[in-house]
Structure 1
Amino acid sequence: MRASQNLLSTVTDHFKSVRLTVALLLMLAGTSVLGTLIPQNKHAADYIQTFGEPLYRVFHILDLTDMYGSWWFVLLIILLTVNIVVCTVTRFRTTLKLSFGKGFKGFSSLPTLAKGTSPKSPGTLEETVQSALSARFATTRKVALPNGVAFDAEKGRWTRMGADVVHAGILILLAGALVGSLFGFDGAVNVPEGETVDTIILRNTNEKKPLGFSVRCNTFSISHYDTGSVKEYRSSLTVLENDKEVLTRDIIVNKPLTHNGVTFYQSSYGTMGAKDFSFAFMEKATGQTVTKAVDIGETVPFAPGKTFTFDRYASNHAFNGRSVGEAAIGTLTDNGSKTEVVLLSRFSNFDKMRKGDWILSIADHEHAYYTGLQVTYDPGVGLVYTGFILMIAGCFVAFFTGHKKIRVTLTPAALGSTVTVSGAAPKNKVWATRYARQLLNRLG
């Protein structure tokens, strides 16, 4: 029995060690640095291309490619949790007793902060002392002494719980992170305009994950700056449950949609081709324009002896090594002479560089887009926020508030009374000294 108790005591002493806390925090900080330097949850080909195959094999064996979900990282979190629990439990009973148990302890040994005399007798000063202390302290008492009387006052005993509140916040935060890691998911899905999905692809395993409801992309729109760079892309999404619409909302980057705890972020987009092209044919000499609808592979006449064949569509055409966006590539036939023409969607006057008699341009066309959504579910996020709030509150209590004790002793003197103000405010000694002097001046 004694051996069991000794073993338990040894284990407890080990887990309540501050050295263990520091060591665990340093290890977690080091692994977090690794997690920043090594991209997480990428494809094997990405790691091999960046680091080489031998180093990738080491990463894979040590779970460094999915570090935050690895067994050893979870073990570090569990050890830190046990360490904090043991530290808190071993001191909690004492802290609770000091914070909410019987008060007014240690007043007879408080250091003297100020001492003086008053022409008034102790009996006359009692009411003034009691009033002054009651105005600043919630708890006061009167104590009869052999050679006089003392008034004790204290407040803030509960502030000793600040460290325990911080510990509780850390534990709740860790619990939230663990819940999110075990029961949450992170994935992605591409949804074409007008189509509906009810599953996503998980990021780590590439497995399909049912959502429990459906999401439809109603429309997708994209706007550009004058330079041609993307300004904003926006998706209109509708959530359906049992084929009934329950929520419709537009999402853009940093403004997601959340339903049943599942959050959809606008992360990417892409085109699925283009359709319904129409082209403008303008005669340079007269300025007259003819507009014709042309399908890919179709040839249309637009002037005597002149035809245009729509050969193909390029979603991202390169001109002189630079991307110029969408383009329609076709063949202009002029009395048997054929010339390849490139017409750009974003630059309608691009064909002017050909210096022909006719200037061709894209008059109109429709896009078929898909929206790329990042989908996350983290059931522990509420616990994480609660933990952060408790940690901030506990730190405020621990560092900016404290237990304050004041004793005012009145003893008879030849010409009135001797007033002695003693006290302690470990976290605000300046306040204690200043308050003692102010109180002494008031009584004098």
Structure 2
Amino acid sequence: MEKIKCECGHVNPEGTVLCEACGKPVEGNQHIDGNDKRKLLNMRYDGSARRSQTYNKSIIDKTWNFFSSVKVGVWLIVLALTASAIGTIFPQEQYIPADATQDPSIYYEAQYGILGQIYYQLGFHNLYGSWWYMLLIAFIGMSLVISSIDRFVPLYKTLKMQKPRRHDTFLKRQRLFSETEHVSSDEKKKLVSGLKKQRYKVWEDNGHVLAEKGRFSRWGPYVNHLGLIIVLIAALMRMTSFMYMDEYVWVREGEQTVIPGTDKEYYIENKDFILETYDKDDERFKNAIEKQGNVAKNYQTNAVIYKEQGDDVAGADPDLKKVTEDSIRMNEPLEFDGYTLYQSGYQQNEFKRMSFKIHKTDDPEEASLGSFSIDLTDPKETYQLDNGFQVGVTQYYPDYELQEEEPASKTPYPRNPAFVFTIHPPGNEEPETSFVGIGKNIDATGENDYKLGIEDFETRYASGLSVKRDYTLPLFIIGAVIFMIGVSQGMYWQHRRIWLHPKGEGILVAGHTNKNWFGLRQDIERMIADTNVNMVQDQQETE
């Protein structure tokens, strides 16, 4: 690695624009920032040697240079934002209605047509979990890390080792500069005293003075980057099931079921579901009630949470220990062991049990020849009656609908149950087939001697609960707080530097700041008050 030796004797790393010791532009460097004597010095990184502008030989150099580019970082962010915007056109797969039974490939085409099909085939239905989106986020993180290191490390070293004694060229090519031919020693002391009164940190070297304040504001962008990197890490961790989980479960009154996403470790029991509606005489909701019926005021699940104890033994009932018992209401979730249960929906009048009776087809009184009851959550294949009849459940459609003239079940939940029964009369009579549902009783042959009819039914509520766990939220908050600290750090403070350089009986005054030049000029005015030192001129305005 080639070193560059300045006339002051300091050896600078390859790629240095301004000597780290005296600030004199390095002759013959590969940049034009310091060698064009007609221009002011580019002080953005104090002329320090940046790796991305120095090496471009190996694949590592080329990769480093690619990700250190601000333009590349901006384009990566634009691509991520564009992809995220497209991902909001249609709902993500995880937000498909919980009662939708269609495969996502069918659902998007059925709901949104050809655009939905294209949306699914391009992978936008699961955008935030797709490999290419995660790779894009990782590239943004790499860009932030590499661009920050590429600029922060050399700038930190340069600012840490800056000296009061600077080359004349360095001072004369600052934006704020003045030269005074005759200045007394008392006036020079008064200048230093004026800087200290304004809370500048002052270094002196044989009459040469460097006054500085607000250096920490230079690190604001890098603090921003740190906050964004933490947010990106949290976003990537959100893709892991341990750090983030979002599931949905239906729990019926009196039912106990596994809480999804907990590896069968936790169970929930729905002891009771309560639905409260607004009074139809309530003037606030009178119009809404007239249009759509009852309006929910509150719906809640009185639930018990259990945790399985010991090892899971196949075929044996789990050994459960009660964790907590509470109500889950709208906007009042239940929290336990890092999980949160939200009341997200409910289903009214879901059938629990149905009773059927057998009677003669031609009997106008429909006198019962026997009856049986079916548990709709777990129907048996056959039902044996005491009078010798046997009824077989050939087909069961929990939520019956016709799809292309074929019977099907819209959902796996008993909301509109329908059956294909086979009746085996006592003796050697031929079995008969009937189709029975709500408002439906069809004899396929028209020659059946026996008929099945609904005798009674029992309904219940089904409670829809969202199950969530999010360990990444603290990281998002920490990252956001750090980001805002960086914004404040770089927005409300400025890095100001003033150099005093004795020259014969006179003095050179130069000043630089990363922003708010008017404020720096005011500081210099206060410093030179009651002295014969000339006020600095803005050389950018006089060019």
Q: Structures share a fold, TM > 0.5?
A: yes
Q: How many angstroms apart in 1 are the aligned matches of 2:265 and 2:347?
A: 26
Q: Which residue of 2 aligns with 1:433?
A: 521
Q: Which residue of 1 aligns with 2:199?
A: 137
Correspondence 1:38 to 2:96:
no
Whether contact under 8 Å (1:256, 1:264) holds in the other structure is yes
User: Of 487, 505, 515, which aligns to 1:395?
Assistant: 487
Amino acid at match of 1:64: F
Q: How many angstroms apart in 1 are the aligned matches of 2:56 and 2:69?
A: 20
Amino acid at match of 1:210: D
**1:268 Cα shift?**
0.9
Deviations 1:309-362 (A, max 9, x none): xxxxxxxxxxxxxxxxxxxxxxxxxxxxxxxxxxxxxxxxxxxxxxxxxxxxxx
Amino acid at match of 1:264: L
Q: How many angstroms apart in 1 are the aligned matches of 2:508 and 2:343?
A: 70
Amino acid at match of 1:96: Y
Whether contact under 8 Å (2:272, 2:302) holds in the other structure is yes
Identity of aligned residues (%): 24
SS at match of 1:182: coil
Correspondence 1:232 to 2:298:
yes
Correspondence 1:257 to 2:334:
yes
**1:25 Cα shift?**
1.8
Instruction: Select between 24-33 and 372-381 the one with higher mean Cα deviation.
Output: 372-381
SS at match of 1:39: coil
Q: How many angstroms apart in 1 are the aligned matches of 2:248 and 2:146?
A: 41
SS at match of 2:514: coil
**Matched ranges for 1:12-27 at <5 A:** 12-27=64-79
Amino acid at match of 1:269: Y
Q: Which residue of 2 aligns with 1:173?
A: 231
Q: Which residue of 2 aligns with 1:282?
A: none
Q: Which runs of 5+ in 2 are unaligned?
A: 1-54, 97-103, 287-293, 310-319, 357-457, 533-543
User: Of 29, 46, 51, which aligns to 2:112?
Assistant: 51
Whether contact under 8 Å (2:499, 2:510) holds in the other structure is yes
Q: How many angstroms apart in 2 are the aligned matches of 1:100 and 1:193?
A: 69
Amino acid at match of 1:372: G
Correspondence 1:406 to 2:498:
yes
Q: How many angstroms apart in 2 are the aligned matches of 1:220 and 1:106?
A: 80
Q: Would you tell me which structure has more helix in proportion to its own residues?
A: 1
SS at match of 1:36: coil
Amino acid at match of 1:26: V
Q: Which residue of 2 aligns with 1:86?
A: 146
Q: How many angstroms apart in 1 are the aligned matches of 2:85 and 2:269?
A: 39
- Residues 116 and 59 (structure 1 numbering): CA distance in 2 closer, same or farther, change over 3 Å? same
Q: How many angstroms apart in 2 are the aligned matches of 1:367 and 1:38?
A: 35
Deviations 1:94-115 (A, max 9, x none): 1332454456575961555789
Q: How many angstroms apart in 2 are the aligned matches of 1:371 and 1:443?
A: 83
**1:87 Cα shift?**
1.7
Whether contact under 8 Å (1:238, 1:245) holds in the other structure is yes
Q: Which residue of 2 aligns with 1:266?
A: 343
Amino acid at match of 1:223: E
Q: How many angstroms apart in 2 are the aligned matches of 1:236 and 1:105?
A: 77
Q: Which residue of 2 aligns with 1:280?
A: none
Correspondence 1:377 to 2:469:
yes
SS at match of 1:384: helix
* Number of aligned positions between the proteins: 336
**Matched ranges for 1:281-300 at <5 A:** none
Whether contact under 8 Å (1:122, 1:410) holds in the other structure is no
Q: How many angstroms apart in 2 are the aligned matches of 1:105 and 1:160?
A: 22
**1:66 Cα shift?**
1.0
Q: Which runs of 5+ in 1 are unaligned?
A: 201-207, 276-295, 298-365
**1:92 Cα shift?**
3.0
- Residues 179 and 112 (structure 1 numbering): CA distance in 2 closer, same or farther, change over 3 Å? closer
Correspondence 1:76 to 2:136:
yes
SS at match of 1:424: strand
Amino acid at match of 1:268: G
Whether contact under 8 Å (1:268, 1:373) holds in the other structure is yes
Whether contact under 8 Å (2:56, 2:62) holds in the other structure is no
Amino acid at match of 1:85: V
SS at match of 2:341: strand
SS at match of 2:335: strand
Q: Which residue of 2 aligns with 1:160?
A: 218
Q: How many angstroms apart in 1 are the aligned matches of 2:490 and 2:240?
A: 33
- Residues 230 and 96 (structure 1 numbering): CA distance in 2 closer, same or farther, change over 3 Å? same
- Residues 254 and 442 (structure 1 numbering): CA distance in 2 closer, same or farther, change over 3 Å? farther
User: Of 181, 186, 199, which aligns to 1:123?
Assistant: 186
SS at match of 2:267: strand
Whether contact under 8 Å (1:271, 1:370) holds in the other structure is yes
Deviations 1:137-175 (A, max 9, x none): 362123434xxxx54321222322222222222222111
Q: Which residue of 1 aligns with 2:31?
A: none
Q: How many angstroms apart in 2 are the aligned matches of 1:56 and 1:161?
A: 46
**1:65 Cα shift?**
1.4
Q: Which residue of 2 aligns with 1:223?
A: 276
- Residues 231 and 426 (structure 1 numbering): CA distance in 2 closer, same or farther, change over 3 Å? same
Amino acid at match of 1:50: Q
Q: How many angstroms apart in 1 are the aligned matches of 2:332 and 2:167?
A: 58
**1:117 Cα shift?**
12
Whether contact under 8 Å (2:56, 2:65) holds in the other structure is no
SS at match of 2:126: helix
SS at match of 1:210: coil
**1:220 Cα shift?**
3.7
Q: How many angstroms apart in 2 are the aligned matches of 1:230 and 1:236?
A: 17
Q: Would you tell me which structure has more strand in proportion to its own residues?
A: 1
Whether contact under 8 Å (2:105, 2:120) holds in the other structure is no
Q: How many angstroms apart in 1 are the aligned matches of 2:254 and 2:265?
A: 20
User: Of 424, 432, 438, which aligns to 2:512?
Assistant: 424
